[in-house]
């Protein structure tokens, strides 16, 4: 038998095997990466005692007719009310839960332990803090200005139970003023305006 023929045959066989192997690899299903959810920014959302807006995170919109689980959070002056729990005004008929995380917003990458989340229940602080006491997202300084804790992030499970949100409040005043040289009276007309950013994800996704 001619050696060169054997060599050519072996080379051809090897090429076929490599081609077959490559085809096998190409036929393996490719699992796509989950889409990265964009961060949303909301500026100057008026939340005084007349407006008290309801908000849905998945759509990024104010809900005009709140019912069932079509809203996630209500901005009620400085109080944040989630759609979950046994409290009324408004009735919480959703499955919303929340917690204040003592971690800077940009460092929150994973969904926290869900067993630690709370709802708005009577005789307890609300899930995201109570405006007249308890752990919450702000503190009052000597001028009675609402000052945001920079190292706190709000984490929320949405009312429909399908999504999760991390949220950082920038300011409680219209156009996010520096407050330097201001007084309580000079700032009172600019109060009750929320500016914040948030990211909404679903199960299996990560925050960025």
Q: Using the structure block, give the residue that is written with the tokens 């309580």.
A: 184
- Kindly report whether the peptide bond that precedes residue 90 is cis, defined as omega within 30 degrees of 0: yes
The span from the CA of 66 to the CA of 33, in Å, is 34
- Mean pLDDT, to the nearest integer, of 131-153? 88
pLDDT the model gives residue 37: 66
Q: Which residues sit opposite 146 in a β-bridge?
A: 140
The span from the CA of 134 to the CA of 140, in Å, is 13
How far is Cα of residue 184 from the mean position of the Cα atoms in its chain?
31
pLDDT the model gives residue 33: 55
H-run or E-run covering 154: strand 153-157
Residue 141 has pLDDT above 80, yes or no: yes
142's tokens? 């000597």
Residue 30 has pLDDT above 90, yes or no: no
The region of weakest confidence among 24-28, 112-116, 118-122 is: 24-28
**Percent helix, strand and coil across the chain, each to the nearest 5:** 20, 30, 50
pLDDT the model gives residue 100: 95
48's tokens? 């005084």
Residue 4 has pLDDT above 70, yes or no: no
pLDDT the model gives residue 129: 84
pLDDT the model gives residue 22: 47
pLDDT the model gives residue 10: 44
Residue 68 has pLDDT above 60, yes or no: yes
Is residue 82 within 8 A of residue 98, CB to CB? The reply is: yes
């Amino acid at each position: 038998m001619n050696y060169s023929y054997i060599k050519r045959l072996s080379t051809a066989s090897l090429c076929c095997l490599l081609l077959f192997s490559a085809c096998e690899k190409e036929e393996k299903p490719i699992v796509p990466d989950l889409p990265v959810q964009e961060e949303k920014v909301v500026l100057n959302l008026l939340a005084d005692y007349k407006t008290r807006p309801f908000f849905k995170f998945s759509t990024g919109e104010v809900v005009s007719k709140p019912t069932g689980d079509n809203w996630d959070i209500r901005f009620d002056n400085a109080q944040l009310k989630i759609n979950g729990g046994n409290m009324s005004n408004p009735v919480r008929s959703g499955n919303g839960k929340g917690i204040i995380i003592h971690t800077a917003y940009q460092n929150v990458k994973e969904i926290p332990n869900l067993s630690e989340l709370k709802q708005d229940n009577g005789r307890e602080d609300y899930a995201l803090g109570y405006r007249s006491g308890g752990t919450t997202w702000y503190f009052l300084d000597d001028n009675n200005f609402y000052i945001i804790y920079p190292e706190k992030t709000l984490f929320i499970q949405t009312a429909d139970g399908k999504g999760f949100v991390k949220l950082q409040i920038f300011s409680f005043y219209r156009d996010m003023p520096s407050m330097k040289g201001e007084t309580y009276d000079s700032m009172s007309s600019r109060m009750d305006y929320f500016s914040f950013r948030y990211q909404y994800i679903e199960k299996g996704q990560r925050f960025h």
